[in-house]
């Protein structure tokens, strides 16, 4: 039997580095971006990114299924099927990009006006069409990104993503001297997406030198294979994207772009840090697919338990540190004391997001096994709950109700993923929840109590920055001490993998 955790831990290590670096760049840049373009244009940018995300993922799910079937056919050494998958996916993405260019040329301006309730300045009404080069690069990118990731070469994709984020930061800092508005973001975003797409093309050609990557041809059997797997993920992705951006659209429509900007600033911080544990899960799909190709269900069950426990550990710790330091973080980003609405957004979304992200293990395991209906049902549940509760609570509590509606949806839906996935492995849900969540929850309590006691005393003697650093260091020490002394093998294995990698370097 092959070792089911070796490639997983290595992939998670590189993705950890990637998300840590990219998250740090996001947090450092956000105050500067808001200062340059203003909070209202930042709110407009949030709406544009929402529209961008919708258009990017209306691809029938091929961006997700390409990676999965590259891993599947490579594990079976079926080179013909591998070529057909890549060629069919590339051809479809090219055609889809051309259709979007036509649609944005015709309806780009009206769409921006509708989503911003006509509050968008006239000079920015055509900005969606100016984002098309970035959109086209983002649509083509998954075809080539799926090759190193499907082959489980996550160190390659991590380096490219970090380089792209650096290019975005440098481009914005440079361009903001000439373009003092949202156009500086458009240019930087386009350069980032263009670079990453080209870099993945070069890497893909080196990894699969005998495969014609740019041939325009759709193979019916390969396309049906891609579509059959990806369509349910497509529905799931749309549901998730609507959930993620629905609240900002409501805020901009009924309360103005300013509140959408504050909401985007608060949630952007959380999502940047939330993506650290969430993005780690992307290593699961190709590995689970490989194990399915070998009919090794026992290894899949072991991975599912271990990764869920590990994800809980990381998520609870990040949630605690963000929640305790929310005022300091928001003051740093906004360069002013946060108002009650921004604090509410940060608190509710912080708690709900990290609980929601813990269910990612069930989502990616079921995806790797081809059970995409589990992810689809869970995200549809999130969407329906979010829309209904946000609209209802908005009537009762104004803009605060929108925040609570999103929080409720993120708390409810993960149970579907766990219950349905546990049925596949005939696991008792009570025992699974105890094993996966009880110990991390105990750790969080152990960490929060001394930190909560220490903070008031620290603030009287040092400033907020030093107090935050001391509390973070204390939390890390307590976490490591707790898990090493209580014999948690999952956490210890993950740290040991990182130390071995650093020693080799």
pLDDT in 10s for each residue of the chain, 505 residues = 444 445 555 665 666 677 777 777 887 888 888 888 888 888 888 888 878 877 776 677 777 788 878 877 877 788 888 888 889 889 989 998 999 899 888 888 888 887 777 677 777 778 888 889 998 998 888 888 888 887 777 778 888 988 999 999 999 988 888 877 888 899 999 999 999 999 999 998 888 887 788 888 888 888 888 887 777 777 776 776 677 777 887 888 788 878 888 888 888 888 877 776 766 566 666 677 777 777 778 888 877 877 787 778 778 878 877 887 788 888 878 878 888 899 999 999 888 888 877 777 787 788 777 777 777 787 788 888 888 999 999 988 889 999 999 888 888 777 777 878 888 888 777 777 777 777 777 766 776 676 667 666 666 666 666 666 666 666 666 656 655 555 554 445 545 544 454 444 4
207 within a domain of the structure (yes/no): yes
pLDDT for 13 equals 63
390-419 residue pLDDT tens: 999 998 888 999 999 988 888 877 777 787
Residue 137: the pLDDT is: 92
3-state DSSP: the chain helix, strand, coil percent, rounded to 5?
85, 0, 15
Question: Is 319 a member of any domain?
Answer: yes
Residue 319 near residue 350, CB atoms below 8 Å: yes
Candidates 94, 66, 49, 409; CA nearest to 234 is 66
Whole-model pTM: value is 0.67
User: What pLDDT does 255 receive?
Assistant: 85
135/143 Cα distance (integer angstroms): 14
Which of 191, 323, 341, 337 shows the shortest CA–CA distance to 269?
323
Report H helices in 255-371: 257-280, 284-293, 297-324, 326-334, 340-358, 360-368
- What does the alpha-carbon distance between residue 62 and residue 143 come to, in Å, rounded to a whole number? 8
pLDDT of residue 2: 44
Counting the structural domains of the chain, the total is: 1
Residue 279 lies in a domain: yes
305 Cβ neighbours under 8 A, 6+ residues apart? 432, 435, 436
Report yes or no on 444 lying in a domain: yes
Closest CA to 358 of 408, 418, 405: 418
pLDDT digits (tens, 9 = 90+) for 148-170: 887 777 778 888 988 999 999 99
Structural domain that includes position 62: 6-504
In a domain, 43, yes or no: yes
CB 280 within 8 A of CB 12: yes
Is residue 1 a part of any domain in this protein?
no
């Amino acid at each position: 039997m092959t070792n089911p955790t070796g490639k997983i831990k290595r992939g998670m290590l590189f993705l950890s580095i990637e998300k840590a670096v990219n998250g740090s760049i996001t947090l450092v840049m956000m105050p500067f971006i808001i200062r340059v373009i203003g909070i209202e244009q930042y709110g407009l940018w949030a709406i544009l990114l929402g529209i961008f995300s919708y258009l990017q993922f209306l691809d029938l799910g091929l961006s997700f299924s390409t990676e999965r079937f590259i891993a599947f056919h490579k594990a079976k050494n079926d080179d013909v099927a591998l070529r057909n998958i890549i060629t069919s996916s590339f051809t479809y993405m090219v055609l889809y990009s051309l259709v979007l260019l036509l649609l944005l040329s015709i309806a780009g301006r009206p769409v921006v006006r509708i989503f911003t309730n006509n509050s968008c300045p006239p000079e920015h009404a055509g900005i969606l069409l100016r984002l098309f080069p970035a959109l086209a690069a983002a649509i083509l990118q998954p075809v080539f990104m799926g090759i190193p990731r499907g082959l489980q070469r996550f160190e390659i994709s991590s380096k490219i993503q970090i380089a792209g984020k650096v290019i975005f930061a440098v481009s914005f800092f440079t361009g903001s001297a000439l373009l003092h508005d949202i156009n500086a973001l458009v240019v930087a975003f386009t350069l980032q997406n263009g670079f990453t797409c080209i870099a993945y093309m070069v890497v893909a050609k080196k990894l699969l030198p005998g495969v014609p990557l740019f041939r325009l041809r759709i193979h019916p059997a390969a396309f049906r294979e891609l579509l059959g797997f990806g369509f349910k993920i497509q529905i799931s992705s749309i549901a998730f994207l609507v959930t993620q951006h629905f609240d900002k659209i409501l805020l901009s429509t009924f309360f103005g772009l300013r509140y959408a900007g504050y909401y985007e600033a608060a949630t952007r911080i959380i999502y940047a840090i939330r993506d650290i544990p969430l993005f780690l899960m992307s290593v699961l799909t190709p590995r689970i697919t490989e194990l399915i190709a070998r009919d090794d269900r026992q290894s899949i069950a072991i991975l599912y338990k271990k990764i869920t426990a590990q994800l809980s550990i990381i998520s609870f710790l990040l949630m605690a540190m963000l929640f305790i330091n929310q005022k300091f973080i928001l003051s740093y980003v906004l360069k002013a004391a946060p108002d009650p609405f921004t604090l509410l957004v940060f608190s509710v979304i912080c708690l709900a997001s990290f609980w929601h992200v813990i269910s990612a293990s069930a989502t990616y395991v079921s995806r790797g096994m081809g059970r995409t209906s589990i992810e689809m049902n869970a995200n549809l549940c999130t969407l329906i709950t979010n829309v209904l509760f946000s609209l209802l609570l908005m009537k009762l509590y104004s803009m605060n109700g929108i925040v609570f509606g999103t929080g409720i949806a993120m708390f409810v839906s993960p149970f579907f993923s766990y219950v349905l996935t546990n049925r596949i492995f005939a696991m008792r849900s009570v025992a699974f929840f105890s094993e996966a969540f009880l110990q991390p929850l105990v750790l969080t309590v152990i960490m929060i109590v001394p930190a909560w006691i220490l903070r008031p005393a620290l603030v009287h003697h040092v400033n907020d920055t030093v107090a935050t650093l001391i509390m973070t260091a204390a939390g890390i020490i307590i976490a490591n001490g707790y898990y090493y002394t209580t014999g948690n093998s999952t956490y210890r294995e993950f740290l040991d993998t990182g130390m071995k990698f650093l020693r080799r370097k």
